[in-house]
Chain A
């Protein structure tokens, strides 16, 4: 057992729950007090664990469930240290509350594949503390030494006497004990639940239509709004005529809000008809006339100017001169949309005395902050209720849609749900930044890769509001996946030149690594070819000091039968990437069928440290591969006259079932701290496929989506 001493930082709070149960949570002092007084039988904010006298264990999940299975994962971690009976465990999505801040962020949000990584220790500690209290309560009841009692599967057992008491029986007494100063965490060998492919807790509600997404929220007197936003990104309303919209059946109000003009109606169809009838005079703003060609030209100029150095080993210029062979390349990646299947939406109910926001969000704290700012209400009067998310992928880390709902509800004094159409969703996304990459590399006469020069130009997410070329400033997310390539190359240079064209950008599943892994892993194959080496061998030769990269590469290659004969016209491509604390290698088997790329199979090896739920890991790898392949093969956002050209799934196509390869996932056993799992499967997918095409055609693939010919 691992001993964990609770410090003041943990702020463990224990209280009696309504109905006599036990309620245990972390919390900041003032807020925890209100939770302790909570008299509602249904809602116990500020607590991770509630145990009712009937034995029901309810766990609060502070992270957003957007498909990654975190509800089940968080519940498994808590239940493991609690030694709860899994059949009696229920998970609920927690409200926004500082008690639930993720230690990795200092706020409540889901992104950066941080949920398991950040909450791992707090959750285990909370579970172990609750178990300790139940053990102490049982020892007192039986008048025996605490050390003679054991916890297992929802029971405390005293072996010598054969006595046993359920957690439900013990909860009221345990709730009256002082919080222990020390708790014992299990060693991985003692895990009963962790590492097992337990069924997801949210599956049943997702096969019968009963899962409530943001889109499905309903409240008495609820109205629905659609918002007309400027067709040119960044433009504003000059004036509008609402006469025809107001005359449209079911329309209740037309109101100008920060993002445009809202048509508020009895139901969605009326709101949409009303919006179609609006007449608005727009001030197009600074992006008028902006297009992809102009943006790319600015990026190219920036790439040729001095960037901010992200890494500089050795002397790149001398090495390039000394090299026996060199190659130069330009790699480009376009803007990408998140295209969550559930379009953006939010519901707000703003009253004089409080505000409730019901929202599929990845950003509880930021949503609460925004609603406080808009309404002037204090934090304790602004409640954020997280629904299921119909996809997130980073898009729902923004709060724009929630702000619209709050403004609409304020404007009409009734609860309002704002619904975005798919066109709204694609036109007003915060896109994955497009980038332009100038690369040079060299190998010496012995076939060693001795020079690697990667100059990135593109928009920064963090600093996007500073338009144009921003000298001397960098953004770590633009160079992630580029500056940390695992190859021992003596002369290695990576820089970033920031140019912000004014197109809104945001975090997109796996962020900088989503494009940099494609660029670096494909350019690596170009250099391996220059050196006359097999791509796998060339990688392994340069991977000293990176055993986890090498481990997943070898495993994926072995399981894929890399190097063994394939059917005629098929080739393997391989790629590896580390992101968010996890390591993933993929081998893609690809053929070209009348100019069309066919990905037959992807063999994936993942090392994400200790495993919470192996089936969730498999599902995330499968899904990440589909997500990566959509960007590699299908979709892109191009800009014309200051807005996206693509409007719906007819011109922003997603991968379809008939295009989905077979996927085999292999998990490396590990005792390392858990890594992220929602994102790390994305980065290797595009380069694995592109490298297979390079192997088939001899022509490097230097831009995605891949267009042959």
Chain B
């Protein structure tokens, strides 16, 4: 038995500890948002966040992920409200959609490190995530928009907590 913490829930899996995390998620836990494409950590379709950092689940044995916090696309938000998902919708990024879980998770990890990423930051963080449909120009725009959405949320929260009436209204609402 291997214990994994996936999207905030503890899960037990009766699988060989050498099984790649990708297949444990997909076949064991039926979390199919994480995609198989190359199997050799060369395309990024299988990216998940492990303790907040992007990791290629296709080459990570579950034994190496035990005890760590794993976030998949399904766990990024319950309702597509994560700023990266919102930006992705606003910019109409996906085409076939198959690589998009990896793109979105790589982008969200980038924004954690760099709240205002430059083009060079985006190139560095996303160059390992391949998209055969060529959604790259929109990926770039959506990351910048997501950065704006995060700043807006932060400043709104700051404004609300600075305003006692708004704070009270929020508590009642």
Contacts and interface: CB of A to CB of B under 8 A. Distances in A.
A104 to B, nearest CB: 23
Contacts of A656: 127-128, 130, 136
B127 A658 contact: yes
A476 interface: no
Given A206-B94, A619-B135, 20 more contacts: A66-B96, A203-B88, A203-B94, A207-B100, A208-B33, A209-B32, A391-B96, A421-B39, A615-B92, A619-B95, A625-B134, A626-B133, A627-B134, A648-B38, A649-B42, A655-B134, A656-B127, A657-B126, A657-B127, A657-B136
Contacts of A391: 96, 98, 132-133
B26 to A, nearest CB: 7
B80 to A, nearest CB: 5
A388 B130 contact: no
Interface string B82-122: 00010011001111111111001000000000000000001
Interface in B21-39: 23, 26-28, 30-39
A200 B130 contact: no
B136 A626 contact: yes
Contacts of A147: none
A650 interface: yes
Nearest to A197: B92
Question: Closest 4 interchain pairs by CB?
Answer: A209-B33, A626-B134, A390-B98, A67-B96
Contacts of A419: 36
Interface in A381-417: 388-393
A339 B132 contact: yes
A330 interface: no
Interface stretch (A41-49, A296-304, A340-348): A340-348
A636 to B, nearest CB: 16
B54 interface: no
Given A268-B23, A268-B26, A341 B96 contact: yes
Interface in B44-100: 45, 72-74, 76-77, 80, 85, 88-89, 92-100
A269 B19 contact: yes
A340 B98 CA distance: 9
Contact of A209 (B40, B72, B134): B72
A211 interface: yes
A622 interface: yes
B143 to A, nearest CB: 10
B147 interface: no
Interface in A612-657: 615, 619, 622-627, 630, 648-650, 654-657
A389 B129 contact: no
10 contacts: A206-B97, A209-B72, A268-B27, A341-B99, A341-B131, A388-B96, A390-B97, A623-B135, A657-B131, A658-B124
Contacts of B31: 209
Interface residues of B, number: 60
A85 interface: no
Interface in A406-451: 419, 421-423
A212 to B, nearest CB: 8
B80 A649 contact: no
Most chain A CB atoms below 10 A, which of B20, B42, B45: B42
Contacts of A624: 134
Contacts of A210: 33, 74
B23 A341 contact: no
Most chain B CB atoms below 10 A, which of A215, A339, A422: A422
Interface of B: 15-16, 19-20, 23, 26-28, 30-40, 42-43, 45, 72-74, 76-77, 80, 85, 88-89, 92-101, 104, 122-124, 126-140
Interface of A: 66-69, 199-200, 202-213, 215-216, 218, 224, 249, 267-269, 339-343, 388-393, 419, 421-423, 615, 619, 622-627, 630, 648-650, 654-658, 660, 662-663
A206 B142 CA distance: 14
A69 B19 CA distance: 36
Contacts of B37: 341-343, 422
Contacts of B123: 657-658
B49 to A, nearest CB: 13
A628 B53 CA distance: 33
A419 B23 CA distance: 12
A208 B32 CA distance: 11
Contact of B95 (A68, A249, A422): A68
A209 B30 contact: no
Contacts of A224: 27
Contacts of B36: 215, 268, 343, 419
A648 B40 contact: yes
Most chain A CB atoms below 10 A, which of B95, B104, B140: B95
A216 B32 contact: yes
B135 A207 contact: no
A368 to B, nearest CB: 23
A275 to B, nearest CB: 13
B92 A218 contact: no
A202 B74 contact: no
Contacts of B128: 656
A421 B16 CA distance: 20
Most chain A CB atoms below 10 A, which of B94, B95, B97, B126: B97
Contact of B100 (A200, A206, A648): A206
Contacts of B94: 67, 200, 202-203, 206-207
A65 B139 CA distance: 20
Contact of B80 (A204, A422, A615, A658): A204
A623 B74 contact: no
A278 B76 CA distance: 40
B39 A422 contact: yes
A660 B134 contact: yes
A422 B38 contact: yes
A341 B73 contact: no
Contacts of A339: 132
B137 to A, nearest CB: 5
B42 A208 contact: no
Nearest to A621: B134
Contacts of A202: 94, 97
Contacts of B101: 209
A67 B137 contact: no
Nearest to B124: A658
Contact of A203 (B15, B76, B92, B129): B92
A419 B35 CA distance: 12
Contact of A390 (B76, B93, B96): B96
